[in-house]
Chains A and B, each alone.
Chain A
Amino acid sequence: MTAPVLIFAIGNESRGDDALGPMLLREIDNWLNSGEGAREKGEGFVERFELLEDFQLQIEHAMDMKDRQRVLFIDAGMDTPAPFSFYRAKATGEPVLYSHALAPQALLDVYVQFYKEPPPDAYILCIKGESFELGEPPTPAALNHLALALDFVKQLLDVSS
């Protein structure tokens, strides 16, 4: 059975603060399966969520959104306000510039084109990063943002369940 909530992290762990998405995903995974928090939410809570990650969003990821109620994209951003921004992603139906990688909004457009139906509710959690250089570790400021984002996500998942 498809989990109703998909949490999709985008990023490359070898490119400095681009690691924030995958790192947060691991923290969420730990929390969901630790028994300290999520397990206390009751039977079936953990099974409501599926966690995926990739370097970049690609067209075929539209298929991962099928039969979901909600999708949460987690990414790191240079220009996002600190410590993070959280907002709804919407299919625009407008022309978008396509590269080998897509923005979440563009992926929703691909979903509409492919399935001919409205996409699931989708949200973006964008964590403020500062440096995205290959081989660099995450910056201290970004790690602080990550900790705050984790607290936020725990509350969010609690509500969304």
Chain B
Amino acid sequence: MSLSLETAANPENLRRVAIDPVSRVEGHGKVTILLDDKNRIHQVRLHIVEFRGFEKFIQGRPYWEVPVMVQRLCGICPVSHHLAASKALDAIVGAQHLTSTAEKNRRLMHYGQILQSHALHFFHLCSPDLLFGFDSDISKRNIVGVAEKYPETAKRGILLRKFGQEVIRHTAGKRVHGTGSVPGGVNKSLSIAERDELLRDIYQMVAWSREAVHMVKELHHKNPELYNSFGAFRANYMSMVGYDGSLDLYHGRLRGRDENGNVLFDGVDYNDYTVLIGEEVKNWSYMKFPYLKSLGKEKGWYRVGPLSRIQNCDFISTPLAEIERREFMAYSGVMPMHAPLGYHWARMIEMLHAAEMIKDLLHDDDITGNDLIVTGERGFEGVGVIEAPRGTLIHHYRVDENDLVTMCNLIVSTTHNNQAMNEAVRRVAQQYLHGHEITEGLLNHIEVAIRAFDPCLSCATHALGKMPLEVEVLGVDGTQLSTLSRSGDGSFCA
């Protein structure tokens, strides 16, 4: 299953090309490619600078502060951390089952997060590549170019994103540092005025989300050769699914499938994630490589996120998204879709599902109820899992008798996908760069593959200022033969 480009046999005789950092992904990612003098690829690695201090940052804090504190880990998906931590700490306060109002308000917050995150990724980060081509004129291959040629597309991205943020604001209590979710439930429910405000726009959001699915579906149908093969690699995949087998991004049990779509495990209680998942350390990467223990390190790596979730569930509970899921599955055929560009299609189906779920929740009287919190027998350990926009997010805490956190372990979506992203860039390098002179357009193919996963590296590092792309070509003796660079304004020069 794994490609053979992780480690070159004789790296000392090869040239090194580095893409550092990768643009239009959050945080800091770097790709290194080793080539021989005929531009044949011998080694490709995606390095992600994982920040390894956040567990320590949480230790020693009172547990009730944690759902708010963890939002500061990531400026991109604070709501996902907020909810995963809350779910883990429900066990500490003995809340085995939340009230209907509490769970529905948490779900509403979560679907708001999914909607806004997926909208940003598709409309503003990936649409330039998909609409103009991976090696098209770089001066047009950006959101300014999209706004000029497809103004309605760019506008919808902003309005969908804004709507999702408003859902979060109303459920979390404020735009940032929300406090809406607390151990045992929520501290506020939606007011009738807030509900009515959101109801005014939700039908438009559903319609736009549906059209977004159609847009990306059309891209697949128009160019199946590219979309089905670009960076494609076979992999196991994992996600949480609802107790009834439905797509459930908030709660459920873990299910995994092999590369042929056969179930590897199902109904696994996520409290037992340490039995299921191990984490391998490799000497060339700061980020760990999770794997399924039952399959071992070599064969046990897996993929998470929209492409996994859509193919892992049995059905989607909302009608429009379910129609799209069925079409997606029919397109894939008997075997699962493994192509990274399929992430975009799956992501838009999820965005449609999120919009439909928001609509349904806004019509549910429980959403404005007053029964907010439950407690029970005090616990000392809790695990919370949520399907964040980019994939499975695990929070695990131990708390002492003084209410202080003594242990914290987090596995974020991008870490789950570490090996999968490496495989994608290796395959693209093999498909497009092998034997060719390196150009910006070819290197962008590598970035397109990484962006398909929507990796959020914000937990890893805080990006300040420009995000230049630098490519170095080094000779056998380590001397610099040539450089290419992309400046913060997007220009690319030799």
Residues of A that sit less than 8 Å from B by CB: 12-15, 18, 52-56, 58-60, 62-63, 77-79, 92-101, 103, 109-110, 113-114, 132-135
What are the residues of chain A within 8 A of B124 when measuring CB–CB? 59, 98
CA distance A60 to B69 in the complex (A): 24
What are the residues of chain B within 8 A of A101 when measuring CB–CB? 26, 75-76, 463
- Indicate the size class of the contact surface on chain B: 35 or more
CA distance A93 to B138 in the complex (A): 15
Q: Is the CB of A14 within 8 A of B69?
A: yes
What are the residues of chain A within 8 A of B140 when measuring CB–CB? 95
Q: Is the CB of B175 within 8 A of A54?
A: yes
What are the residues of chain B within 8 A of A63 when measuring CB–CB? 158, 162
Q: Is the CB of A94 within 8 A of B161?
A: no
Q: Which of B6-60 contact A (CB under 8 A)?
A: 23-26, 51, 53-54, 56-57
CA distance A94 to B157 in the complex (A): 20
Best-surrounded residue of A13, A54, A55, A103 (most CB of chain B within 10 A): A55
Q: Is the CB of B24 within 8 A of A52?
A: no
B147 interfacial by beta-carbon distance below 8 Å? yes
What are the residues of chain A within 8 A of B363 when measuring CB–CB? none
7 contacts between A and B (CB under 8 A): A58-B165, A60-B165, A96-B144, A98-B24, A100-B120, A103-B465, A134-B51
Q: Is the CB of B158 within 8 A of A110?
A: yes
Closest A residue by C-beta to B142: A95
Report B175 CB to chain A, min CB distance, Å: 7
* A18, A103, A113: the one within 8 Å of B462 (CB): A18
Best-surrounded residue of A12, A54, A78, A99 (most CB of chain B within 10 A): A99
CA distance A9 to B51 in the complex (A): 24
Q: Is the CB of B165 within 8 A of A95?
A: no
CA distance A93 to B145 in the complex (A): 10
Q: Which of B428-464 contact A (CB under 8 A)?
A: 456, 458, 462-464
What are the residues of chain A within 8 A of B490 when measuring CB–CB? 94-97
Q: Which of B120-166 contact A (CB under 8 A)?
A: 120, 124-125, 138-140, 142-145, 147, 151, 154-155, 157-158, 161-162, 165
Report B431 CB to chain A, min CB distance, Å: 25
Q: Is the CB of B489 within 8 A of A98?
A: no
* A79, A92, A134: the one within 8 Å of B54 (CB): A134
Q: Is the CB of B464 within 8 A of A132?
A: yes
Q: Is the CB of A79 within 8 A of B465?
A: yes
B78 interfacial by beta-carbon distance below 8 Å? yes
Q: Is the CB of A132 within 8 A of B462?
A: yes
What are the residues of chain B within 8 A of A54 when measuring CB–CB? 75, 175-176
Report A10 CB to chain B, min CB distance, Å: 9
Report A59 CB to chain B, min CB distance, Å: 5
B72 interfacial by beta-carbon distance below 8 Å? yes
B73 interfacial by beta-carbon distance below 8 Å? yes
B62 interfacial by beta-carbon distance below 8 Å? no
CA distance A63 to B144 in the complex (A): 17
Report A99 CB to chain B, min CB distance, Å: 6
CA distance A52 to B169 in the complex (A): 13
* A18, A77, A97, A113: the one within 8 Å of B23 (CB): A97
CA distance A96 to B144 in the complex (A): 8
Q: Which of B70-116 contact A (CB under 8 A)?
A: 72-73, 75-76, 78, 116
Q: Is the CB of B53 within 8 A of A133?
A: yes
B232 interfacial by beta-carbon distance below 8 Å? no
CA distance A116 to B173 in the complex (A): 32
* A12, A14, A109: the one within 8 Å of B144 (CB): A109
Best-surrounded residue of B56, B125, B162, B462 (most CB of chain A within 10 A): B462
Contact (A77, B158) CB under 8 Å given A59-B120, A100-B76, A134-B53:
no
What are the residues of chain A within 8 A of B175 when measuring CB–CB? 52, 54
Contact (A96, B142) CB under 8 Å given A53-B176, A55-B176:
yes
Best-surrounded residue of A62, A93, A96, A97 (most CB of chain B within 10 A): A97
What are the residues of chain B within 8 A of A109 when measuring CB–CB? 144
Known: A54-B75, A96-B142, A99-B467. 14 other contacts (CB 8 A): A18-B462, A52-B175, A55-B78, A58-B165, A79-B465, A94-B489, A94-B490, A95-B145, A97-B467, A97-B489, A98-B24, A100-B458, A101-B26, A113-B147
